[in-house]
Structure 1
Amino acid sequence: METVPPPAEELAILDRELVQLDARRAQLLARRAWLLTSIRQSQPAARPAPVARPLGAPPPETSPPNVQNLLLTLGGILLTIAAIAFTLVSWGHLGIGGRSAVLGAVTVAALSAPVLLLRRGLASTAEAVAGLGLVLMALDAYALHRVALPDTGGLGYTAVASAALAGLWSAYGLSLDRLRTPLPVAVLTAQLPLVLWALTASAGAPPMEWALLATAAFDVVVALSANRAGLRGIATTGAAAAGGSALLIGASQSVTAATPLAAVAPAVLLLTAAGVALFAASRSPEAATAASVAAGLAAIAAVGGVARAGVPERWSVLGYLLCAVALSGLVRMGIPRRLQPGLISASAAVHAAAALSALPLVALTLAGPLTVLDSIWSGTQTDARGALGLDLPESVLSATPLVLLIVAATLTAASRWSPTAEGPPTGPPAAPAGTAPQAAAGTAAHRPAAAEGPTPPAGTAVAPSPEGYAAEPSATPTGRASDATGPEGVPTPEGHPGPAAGPSPSGPAAASQPAGETHPGPATPTGPASAAQPAWGPASRGPVVPGPGLRNLAAPLALGLVWAALLVVPPALDLGYAVTAALHVFLTIAALGLTVRPAWLARHAPAGPVVGLGCALAGGVSVALLSLATRPATFAVLATLAASFTAAAVATRAGRAVQAVLACAATGFATALLGAIAGAVELPPHQAAWVMLAIPAAVALLAARLRRHPVALPMELTAAAAGLLAVGLAAGDRPTLALVLALCGVIAAGTAVRAERRPAAGYLATALFVLAGWVRLYASDVASPEAYTLPVTLPALAVGVLRRRRDPEASSWTAYGPGLAATLLPSLFAAWGDEHWLRPLLLGLAALALTLTGARLRLQALLVLGGTVLALDALHELAPYVVQVVGALPRWLPPALAGLLLLAVGATYEQRLRDARRLRDSLGRMR
């Protein structure tokens, strides 16, 4: 049931809706007008219609303007060469009056001609003639020196002449602003006067560094005031070159200053350069970051240089680092936002350099135990430096922990630097009060009073939209941001410009507007005019907040630096050996703690577990090597590390990858502990192999329980490395080696019981068993291995035949490969060492029969094994004769034959490739 409102109430509702529709129409019309204006301004100027060309006529090789510029350039170059030749070569043929008259007349004519040429629209010609005039002015200066001032010093006169020429060319370029050449040439010439004056080394000449700095300041002023991109680029390049040179000279003087008083003069230079750079950064948004970086580095070098000269050498890095910390603190104290990124980058660069200067000592501390491996269990190491093999002066070691801790503290502060209320506003600034659009200013004038609906109050803040025009009122009287809504509170679509298109004029200007129309007001702060605003305004003083990526990276790096700082404390303080080993073990366990409970690190250091894992691995390996100085330390440290890494692998929540690495490390430390036990009881290497096999066996049992857990495979691979170590230890005793190989085969066979490991572990077990049999035969000095291998081969082949009958698709390698290899390979080794002919003959016949059978029945295993054994057996028999034949041939014949072979293969390369592919396909189709 619908309720119809009274007529008066319904009329008021209709009037309000009409007012909103009129306001919306006015805003859309203003937006339309703004878009039309933007489109007209963005369209390029109309080009002249192309000249008709007959069909089929080729296009011209060069366009007329390019040809014109080329001709003018060549003409100007020729005239310049002629003028130089006249001045340098033909100067003596004229008197003083003639010389002055000729050069003066030609120079005046060359400088005056561009005025007439520009009036006629010949801009390119005017540029060429003006360039000639500039060269003639330089020749006039040279002539003046040769004729009127021959006794003047060359450098001094050149400095004065370059200054005068720069001023004259600047005035000439400013008077003829359509010429593009004079002003850049003037700026380039202005780089010389002060530098040349400094090179004269006269009494009033400035030092070179101050001359360069003054030149850079001049370039900064030119770059900020220039309205041409080319001129700004030249001035910016000159400022960078001159300012950078001044900074390098000042920094070198500051570093080499012997006393604080001697470091004051370079500090003043560097601080002045920092002021110039900050001025440039505050006025130029494009160069703000680079200039503020230079300013920050210069300020740190200035203050740090004075501090360096007043402290011992070992604290010099710390002095610069403290200056960088102070600069980071100043950034938070109201420095304009435009300058903050560069200053923060400068401070970060100094922090990084300080940390890098300390990292070599950290690396030496970690790798130091490698230098004393020749004195294992000697018990002669009593202090940290001797145990770590660090033969460094105390001045290098003392300040390193403090440097790392200060850098870590700064990184911690950066990681906790999060956006707060004091940060920059997240939206565009509000427009000044009184500029809000009056929605019905033009349409409500002719309506009855009863029809006038509510309008936005005067003074409502209107936020500019990203497009540069004002949006609807963005703040309620309470100051809370309101949602963008259309008429009657209906939300506008995403990306819609919103109900307002710009502030409407008020007062008399509004009365002159047509009803229902509004026009965009002045540019908002987000428009083009914003670039001209200075960087020192109140709205630009909020601190720059680091991004989430930087904050997430800072905390893990801080943790790593704290760990490194504590690691180098023992050598820095020259603590005892026991304290050093205990501290390193504690640091390793603490690093493991970062990988066990990463939940509390997730908010501040998401990468903390990875950093902790890296520190734990590096520290664990280092302290394990360090513990080799004494037996008790070795057992205590290795047992602690194995238990700690095992516990961390069980308790970690940092992911499967971290857990797998921890498990592998635990396996490695357990292997090292067993090796230390075997060494302590003085077992021979071949007997120590028995002890090492405990690791693969234990891991195989554990992996059987883990099944398809992602950690199982990495642990098994690490245990396989321990098995290889056992095989290597047993290699010196053949019977033991055979037994170790057999035990490895048993472990592999037990692993093959699991379905997920069956293929790989099964083949490995078979290979290990066969290899164990061969080694056992070789260890027993068996001259006829066939007597032991044939009883194995025949039943294996019978089983293979039965397998093939039941499963015709079974591979011949599975059915016949193990049985054939059990006899063929030992017989081949025996044949190569047999001096008689019977064994090679019988082996060759058997291999030939297998090859033919494999080719006939299309069995890959028989063909490949038989062919390989046949080829190697034939090579053994024919090798002596081949050697004799090759020795009888001329020396040039083998290379010639090889060349002919290569030519033949190259000529029939495609055919050989096709043959090889057919052979591969044929083998692939075999079973």
Structure 2
Amino acid sequence: MENVPPPAVELSTLDRELARLEARRAQLLARRAQLLSMPYDGFGPPAAVPVRRPATAVGPRGGPEATPTSVQNVLLALGGVLLAVAAVAFTLVSWGRLGIGGRGAVLGLVTAAALAAPAALLRRRLASTAESVAAIALVLTVLDAYALHRVVFTGVEGRVFWALAAAVLAAVWAAYGLALGRLRVPLPAAVLAVQWPPPLWAWSAGSGGPALEWALLATAVLDVVLAAGAGRAVPSAVRVVAAAGAGLTGCWALLIAGVQSVTADSATAAVLPGALLFTAAGVLVWAARRLPGAAAGLAAGAGLLAVVGAGGVVRAATPDGWAVLGYALCAAAVSGAVRAGARSGRAGPVAQGLSYAAVSVAGGAVLCTLPLLLAGALLGPAARLEGVWSGPTAAAYSSGGLVPAEPGGLPAVLILLAGAAVLWQWPGAPGGRAGGAAALVWSAGMVLPVGLGAGDGAGLAWVLAVTCTVVLVAVRGTGWPGLAEVSTACALAGGASAVLAGLATRTATFAVLGVLVAVFCLGVLFARSGAGRAVQAVFACTATVCAAGLVGAGAAAAGLAAHQAAVALLAVPAAAALAAARLGRRPVTVPLEVTGAAAGLTAVGLAAGDATWLGGVLALGGVIAGGTALRAERRPGAGYASAALLTAATWAWLAAADVTVPEAYTASVSVAVLAVGVLRRRGDAEASSWSAYGPGLAVTLVPSLAAAWGEGHWLRPLLLGVAALAVTLAGARLRLQAPLVLGGAVLAAVALHELMPYAVQAVGVLPRWLPPALAGLALLAMGATYEQRLREARRLRDALGRMS
């Protein structure tokens, strides 16, 4: 039987449960408010759980596309850029109008105010605005250093001064960032400044100071310590900047030392760069032990550096012709040390990385002779040509000076040993053996004409036959992993060699390109699924490239100019678009379309010398893109491309007609296109502002910007700047991406134009730094207002959430 409690008892139970739920809800709300009010440590404020809100329409044009936070960030960034530009202009251009005391007072007061402002802004919880002002303050400190060098320390050599200034700035920025721990900009900026003192000091010291490579290495070591060994207290932004600095300075140091090692003419001269390489290897090993996730890669780099350093000493001490042996012996020593460590139980990621380095160096040393032979086979015919279509040479397939001078029995044995070594590296992988065997057989086939001293016709026919054979092997596939990929690479190299050899005569060029187009097209059509989609895609792209070369050869044979040949070259993207429409949604479709588009870009480059023909090429390209947009799966991207190409064609024709007032032609078009965009946004609230308003705005803004940069009168830049500012503010008000981005970009470009030394000032009586400074202050104030409103909205939301 079911035992139902009396109503009074059930009511009491429900009241107790509701009270418990209300108490739990109050605890959770209090904890949430506590987390939101907690200070953050440079990594950003605690993230709140995202709340999905329904999109709200803004007028008849549809919903907003940009969040208030993104609009705020755009305004703050643009305002900061404009203020920084204004400060640079004030320092560099208007500097001479003030006395020494006035100069120091102005920069000092502005810098002090900029450095103090973020603390007040952080107390008001305007973190983003504080970041922007702090970035401006850092720029001002650099300008202060420049001013000190120009006024106070005029006798100090520039590199010495900036080495000291960079060190001081790094210390000041680091202290500033630690003092205001909630700012994310100063500490990474301090790490960036640290990169300069050691190299500048070494550069300025000459023979009396450290070598440049050692100074760079010292900087890299400091960066590695910050990135890998400073503990979790270091913010991630500092780690990223330090890692990038370590990569840049370390690569420069290693490049200098590597060149010195491989070019040293004595063992003594190779010792010092070898020591640097060994030091860098030790640093990488230390970093590998600190970073287990990247231990293998870092250890592999350390092994390579150790082999290069030791091998350089051995190379300089051995006779000519035996240099590779030194590196091979050093690689064997590293491999032996790794094996000894593995036997003693010290194997791990570091040992694995060192093993990879030893194997790669040994393999490269063994295979060093084979590339020389292949170079003679592939490039020998082209090396002996006196010019394109200059006629066959006496021995087209001789070495061309690229094969070693003594191709006796030893090089052949080394080639065979190289093949055996490569195969031996994968004793249990049939695919590796199959691919290696295919590469060796193809190499033998390509080297055969050189060995026989074949003439032009016979050698070219043999190379084409070998290329067709490897294409067949690649597309028919035998099920062995790696065979199709190796055969594809061999086919590409053989085809390139045939094209180079075919440049001897006009007939050979057309014959080779025609055969290659046919062979690669057949390879795409008849490839089995086992050959892999990548093989089909590569062959489709190669066939398209060969077809473009065939069209170019035809245009050259017909004596067409470059801009005329561009029109003929458009047949390639047109054919590629038709073939892609025929193929449908197959994997080979996208690579085919991309290669055809690249041929179209080449046609645009060829027609760039003649504005009228350029407009025609762009218009035809727009027609091809418009035809591609008829396919549903390509409609958005191809439609945008078609609109952009047709618009660019219009600009090119306006330029060809020497139109100096493009607004007379583009303003009416912009109004019409914008009207169409308004109607579209009314009917489709999901329509993007880029498709609705982007074309209409770009039609007038871009040509006007180009015209403003090309003239010296003040009226057009002023009007264009006002219009761009209006478009930017409208985009910010309506939260639309296209007006915000286009207007902001044009406004920034106009501001930079007005700061050019020889540009006419927008207002004759004002210094050229004042207009962008005022615009930057206005945008910065708008960004701060946005942040203040967002903070108040969050506070109101939390208050409402705590209501019962």
Q: TM-score, normalised by structure 1?
A: 0.42
Q: TM-score, normalised by structure 2?
A: 0.48
User: By percentage of residues, which structure has more helix?
Assistant: 2
